[in-house]
Structure 1
Amino acid sequence: MKTAVFICGPTAVGKTKIAIELAHWLETEIVSFDSRQFYRELKIGAAPPDADELQAVKHHFIGNLSVEDNLSAGAFEKRALQSMNGIFQQHDALILVGGSGLYMKALLEGFDQLPEVPAETRARINQQYQDSGLPYLQEEVAKRDPEYYAQEARSLYPLREKNALQTVGYRELFAHFEGKYDLETAVEEIKKSWLNSTAFQIPIIAIGNLSTGGTGKTPMTEYLLQRLGGEIGVVSRGYGRKSKGLLEVDPLGSARDFGDEPLQMAKKFPRVKFVVSEKRVPGVQHLLNQEKLTCIILDDAYQHRYVKAGFYLLLSTWQ
């Protein structure tokens, strides 16, 4: 019987040392499924095995690519399985080590057999994203396959009262599920919402995410406040506050009134004007009426399309 031993965990916890000891004991080789250690240029942040460790045991998929190369999880699955089959021709066991859960899942469970995406198709879609942004591509999905587009919203329908789901795309589909209008009308309403964004004559940066919490929106906002010059205003939803409506954040106030994160930032950056508001357009208008600003940051506003930002920062958990 052939045996594959998986060692998985975050960077710098000792995976490599354990893997080498096991490989010596089992007299076998190591296959890496760490998506960052594939790239030879990433010698610090990825913490790949050093020269002595690579000399001690034969490793696969360490520094075998350039950062200019593209290796999807699906492509990795095919290549890794080929390498594993070759190793199993000579050994009864092998060691797999890494920190990328998706790549581990590819080897444990496999992916559906999907056709290869032609290079010209990938280039065309990337160009559309650069020219028109994510909303355009979302609209294309909604037009071409509205049933597929609605699947995620349907799974989230029981959570429809959550603040994170009070956004363009979800609201309209939830209304469809409640029988207020058919799917075709819901898609048209989504298009209208995306097109009805309000533009302002000032640079606006929108920060947001596609997952709930833990992606670092507040640290990113603080980083921008440290790096950007001039007079800056920030509009935040103010999650966790008990108050309603538009409020200027008072650094001497309470989280109950303004939310933990806006209050924390207001104390840290006393020269910045902070506003909390469920509606972003009135928040921006209030700042422009009260202050002479050079830039406005919308915290947690990527999916709130009522303000047309000049620059979008989409954050995600590492994977």
Structure 2
Amino acid sequence: MTKFLISIVGPTAIGKTALSIKLAQHFETEIISADSRQFFKEMHIGTAAPTQEEIATVKHHFIHHKSIQDNYNVGAFEKDALQCLETLFKTKNVVVLVGGSGLYVDAVTKGLDDFPEVDSNIRETLNTDLETKGLPYLQEQLKQLDITSYKTIAIDNPHRVIRALEICIGTGKPYSSFLNKEKVTRNFKTITIGLTADRPIIYNRINQRVDMMMQAGLLKEVESLLPYQHLNALKTVGYKELFNYLNGECDLDFAISEIKKNTRRFAKRQLTWFKKDDSILWFDYLVDFEVVIESVESKIH
């Protein structure tokens, strides 16, 4: 019997979690999270992780299973997620994957791209440049060397920018030229569902969600993580802006407006990433659940 992975993608704050739970309940199965920020147990509010009630409804994997102090990357996640799928498929014909981290979703569904080894000194130099010249300097460098990556990767994430740059510099070829080579074959079929909306609606939902996060105590959460602000896991939207406020670099209103702006930019990049995949079945975020089920069932049968 063919096994199916139903992957749910789309921009942040569009309603992926709610749909994933409905689908998992319908197929009496479990959910694998491919949201790279929700892996960390110290980050609850700012990552919009599923609530305790949601987790109690359906079993989730890869939610708060790591600490911000752990060195966990997409390669390790691919290995762990495939092992988890192997176990789940012994008793289930369908498993649900959900997440807005395109790279992590692709790692599970298509396999990671093969990158050549490059001189570790390059990364050290780039890290020094980040400290002394700032992220905009590195972003501009990437723009010159690989405009495709500049437009598609998480450009506000220093880790991703440095990764792309070290490949560009170390090989003399664009980072993007190593992407989308022949992918590995998986022993399951993937059906990918995308949720979307008109851009003003997406942006409005993001703004509302940030306000709700602040009301839920995001500032207090970030304050408790202040001693760890140097860790890579925390150099992310919703945390870095409030660290700036707590460090006296801006006022709170400005920090909140920056979270909204940076989250909107992130959503734009997510859509750019997912729109490259023409196998995705796109639905409006208000779609009736029965319509989604009908599409999925027709693909399965």
Report the TM-score range of the alignment, normalised by the length of the smaller protein.
0.3 to 0.5
**Larger helix proportion of the pair:** 2
**Larger strand proportion of the pair:** 1
TM-score by length of structure 2 reads 0.43
TM-score by length of structure 1 reads 0.40
Q: Which has the larger radius of gyration?
A: 1
